[in-house]
Structure 1
Amino acid sequence: MSASNPVSEREDGVTPRPVEHARASANARAGFAALVSCLALVACATKPLVPYTTDTPPLMLVPASYAGVQDKRARFREIYCAVLEAHGRALPDYSPCESALTRVGTEPAGTGAPVALGQSTRHLMAAVVPGIGYDCFKPWLNAPGTVTKQLRQYGYDGFMLDVDGLSSSAHNARQIRDAVMTMPPPDGPARLVLIGYSKGAADILEAVVAYPEIRSRVAAVVSAAGAVGGSPLANDAQQYQADLLRHFPGATCTSGDGGAVQSLRPATRQAWMAQNPLPGDVRYYSLVTFPEPQRISSILESSYDKLSRIDPRNDSQVIFYDQVVPGSALIGYVNADHWALAVPIARTHDMIGSLFVTQNAYPREALTEAILRFLEEDLSTSGK
């Protein structure tokens, strides 16, 4: 996704007149006002009680959350670094590998095996289930879709799987089921990779539990900054605050069943996990956002500080251990805040990016390619 000024030039190459520029700027400001209003979800904040540190055993801090988790960070780092160096420099927001990933505790040594960077043989297809309110601000965000373009160059594919942004995970699980079942069944190994961003991870987990008919069509499930264990920020929030997202310019979303915030509360997620063991015929992976404090955008510092009273190892919306699927393979800790991982605000709204979403740059295209390359290799060695 190339950085651009959304109001500087139209697609026909004609520079807009001042009134057009003013209207576009007003729309951007209105969208941001709704965004700020939504941040009422995080309320007030105080400074962290506990200092930030990465010097910790990453798989032993919270045994209940990390039960059965395999540490596969070393091989993912090798693949991601190779993709960044081979393809990332030609893409926006390039970052050296050491800056793109956070080293937490003692990371295992790499395998040294070569990384395949050519055309995919399995042609995995990423279906991304977005987080709360995405269908409300999707028109305002106007993301240019270059992640999909990057994937298709190498025989992969990707798309956004639409769900109700303000509905419960149970409601959205049915939408995921219906979308998957409309796709042609695989004539060989499954190709579909369900990637859940933020609340989307909870939606996916509910889908694979409630609808066993989709499992044979799913090659893997990935939590990407997923709210697997919920977010403590949701404890102080109400659904009407999330409904403010309906006021984004161009938004056509509805309140749905009104259960989005309830689905994000830790008690809700923990009760669901306790009552719904994950099926063993699906492979699970966890990609965790674990940013250095200076990588938190200024507008997210308040929520970061508030969560830091519980644990400073958070991405401004979710604590690191709440992003991990029990029994999954941990593939990496990403040095990006919650929005930077998947919501390219600064690329299409540069004024807002420079003033408020100040740490939004991240090499998302290279990251997504690396995820699918890692999965293709890992699934082939496991026989899935």
Structure 2
Amino acid sequence: MMIPFPQHVIKSLRTSSILVMVGLMLNGCISKPLHPYTTDTPPLMRVPAIQHLEQDKRGRFKEIFCAVLEARKDTIPDYMPCEEALTSLGQTPEGNGKSVNLGPSQRPLQVVFIPGLGRDCVSEWLAEEDTIPTHLSQFGYQWHSPRINGLASGRHNAKYIRDLVMATPPLGEYPDLLLIGYSKGATDTLEALILYPEIQPRIAAMVSVSGAIGGSPLANEFSDGVVNLLELFPGATCEADDQGALSDLQPATRQTWLAQNKLPPSIPYYSLISYPSPDNISSALKISYNKLAKVDARNDGQIIFYDQFIPNSYLVAYLNADHWAISTAIARTHNLIGHTFANRNNYPREAMYEALLRLIEEDLETVE
């Protein structure tokens, strides 16, 4: 006997099947090393990210994040205690003990959030509510999330970022644009800062959230054509313009770019790194997590933790969240998928971004 499933369940199952199909193609059996032998690389060495104590902002961010979480626990979704939301790595410095402003911002910021690979292909299906912009607007922060071509190269997207920055007027006498790049969006943003120096005076700070700064070994396995299958996703309106998205994420590409480009020193940089415990990875990311674990088990299902750090940036925090959970509320709008493929997707993003903005606001006020 056939069971008459509701249409919304059938639709979710169909979409889930497509997600699994694309995922399996992207995370198929390993036929070659994730880091293949090559001479196409600049000279490299691995050193500690923190060269000076003032670079390590983890102590103060923890103070702010904990205060925000407790103050908002009855009004934000996915609340969790501060200790569960953060991953303690090595010796975390103490905070400065100053009181945390939980009221209106004293120095309002305009956030421009640059999303990652293929985001525009699935945005209609995600149907996310604007909970982050709505939450932040209560305190005077503005949040803009422009549509970026998720299947294009960083050079292609850099021009769009440039035009967006130039078209956004400042709110006051100081630069107030905060560029936040998530995953590939972080590398697209860095490309824009180098290619279009005219935007630099308008930028208050730049943040990498789970950024693919050093690339990902996963990108060595496939061509851009595989990722371009996202054009077939239900409701997708994305187009693979120059088909350079995945190539941009190859470690050799990113490391060569970092070696050849000096970031403008006038802009402060911050790195927020996803570093989940192995049991806090959604099932859909387990295959890619295990594949990356052959290089380093300290990854978020897409990127190894040390490849998320902008050189010489401020280290904000290690977050106990996988690559999806840090950015996308899949489980909130897709209950079935949230219980199966994205079963570790809950994270207090609203509180995390509020704490991030309050930290940067403090720093900017100190400098000025």
TM-score relative to the length of structure 1: 0.88
Higher mean Cα deviation, 202-211 or 35-44?
A: 35-44
Question: Which of structures 1 and 2 has the larger relative contact order (alpha carbons within 8 angstroms, sep 6+)?
Answer: 1
Amino acid at match of 2:304: I
Q: Is the 8 A contact 1:45 1:302 kept in 2?
A: no
> Once the two structures are aligned, what percentage of the paired residues are identical?
49
Q: Please report the RMSD computed on the Cα atoms of aligned residues, expressed in angstroms.
A: 1.9
1:55-84: per-residue Cα shift (whole Å, max 9, x none)?
xxxxxx931866678111000000000000
Amino acid at match of 1:294: D
Q: CA deviation at 1:26?
A: 3.3
Amino acid at match of 1:24: H
Amino acid at match of 1:226: G
Higher mean Cα deviation, 253-262 or 34-43?
A: 34-43
Q: Look up the match of 1:200.
A: 185
SS of residue matched to 1:279: coil
Query: Superposition pairs for residues 1-384 of structure 1, below 5 Å?
Result: 22-39=6-23, 40-44=25-29, 62-63=46-47, 70-383=55-368
Q: Look up the match of 2:41.
A: none
Amino acid at match of 1:72: K
State the distance in 1 between where 2:289 and 2:17 align: 20
Amino acid at match of 1:25: V
1:163-212: per-residue Cα shift (whole Å, max 9, x none)?
10100011111111011111124541111111110000000000111111
Structure 1 unmatched ranges of 5 or more:
1-17, 47-60
SS of residue matched to 2:139: coil
Q: Is the 8 A contact 2:170 2:176 kept in 1?
A: no
State the distance in 1 between where 2:211 and 2:19 align: 20
Amino acid at match of 1:314: N
Amino acid at match of 1:195: I
Q: Look up the match of 2:35.
A: none
Structure 2 unmatched ranges of 5 or more:
32-44
Amino acid at match of 2:57: K
Q: Is the 8 A contact 1:67 1:326 kept in 2?
A: no
Moved segments of 4+, more than 6 Å: none
Distance verdict in 2 for CA 1:211–1:95, change over 3 Å: same
Q: Is the 8 A contact 1:37 1:244 kept in 2?
A: no
State the distance in 1 between where 2:161 and 2:280 align: 32
Amino acid at match of 1:201: A
Q: CA deviation at 1:345?
A: 0.8
State the distance in 1 between where 2:124 and 2:66 align: 33
